[in-house]
Amino acid sequence: MAAAPVWPRPWRVAIGLSLGFAAALAMAAVWGAGFIELLLPVIGKLIVWLDERFAILVLSIDHTSQDTVVRLRVTLTQIVVVGGIPTRPDPKGWLEVTTTTGAMLQPLAIACGLAVGWPGALRMRAARLGIASLAALAFLFVDLPITLHAYIWDMFVDNYEPGRFSPILIWHKAMHDGGRLGAGVLLGAFAIAVAGHAKHRISDMPDDCTQTPAVRASAPE
């Protein structure tokens, strides 16, 4: 008969999560900008894949007086028609947008903080951290290109066709209104669930599947 699960004490959960989130946020603040900078070549290709009517002039990490930001500058390569009004390419023209690295790293920091801070053995926490990091990285490869493109696209929609339906702008608004916080919690919970399920699968394996049978040697007669 399987033993009933023992739930950790609330104060231990609170302390563990506080320490986990503090560590994750500190690492994001120190190494986050450098981490995103390593991803920019891939992010740039994804932006062009989203909309090949734009060519990237600048995609970099910049430090302003208040924040560290991802800066995107693009120029048109094809005519863009919004609200029946065409905008033609201009060799001297460009559009520039920025988004903070802190906002982009929010799901990663929350997911990793939750995965590490949730009670469990050190090996289990490490497994959760690996799962949460990979899941949050995949989310970042979706969120950052869409967010930067949405800022560019919003310039056209806001000027020429306000109220136009756009899935990219819907995503952008949802993430801006708390979606990244929710995504971080879901990714962290996903890592906890997957690691816990794997642990139970391993512990439920029969002994003859996890032990190597002994070989008895006999001396020749």
56: region left, alpha or beta (phi > 0 left; psi from -120 to 50 alpha): beta
Residues 6 or more apart whose CB falls under 8 angstroms from that of 186 comprise none
**pLDDT score for 16:** 82
**pLDDT score for 221:** 47
User: Considering the entire predicted model, what is its pTM?
Assistant: 0.84
Local confidence band at 19 (pLDDT 50, 70, 90 cut-offs): confident
**Which amino acid, 25?**
L
Closest CA to 20 of 126, 105, 178: 126
Could you report the per-residue pLDDT of 91-122, keeping only the tens digit for each?
A: 889 999 999 999 999 999 999 999 999 988 89
CA 117 to chain centre: 18
Delimit the domains of the chain by residue range: 11-196
Kindly state the tokens that stand for 46: 């994804």
Q: What is the DSSP letter of 65?
A: S
Q: Is the pLDDT of residue 211 over 50?
A: yes
Could you report the per-residue pLDDT of 181-194, keeping only the tens digit for each?
A: 999 999 999 999 99
- Mean predicted confidence (pLDDT) in 70-84: 95
- Mean predicted confidence (pLDDT) in 53-60: 96
Beta partners for residue 85, in sequence order: 82
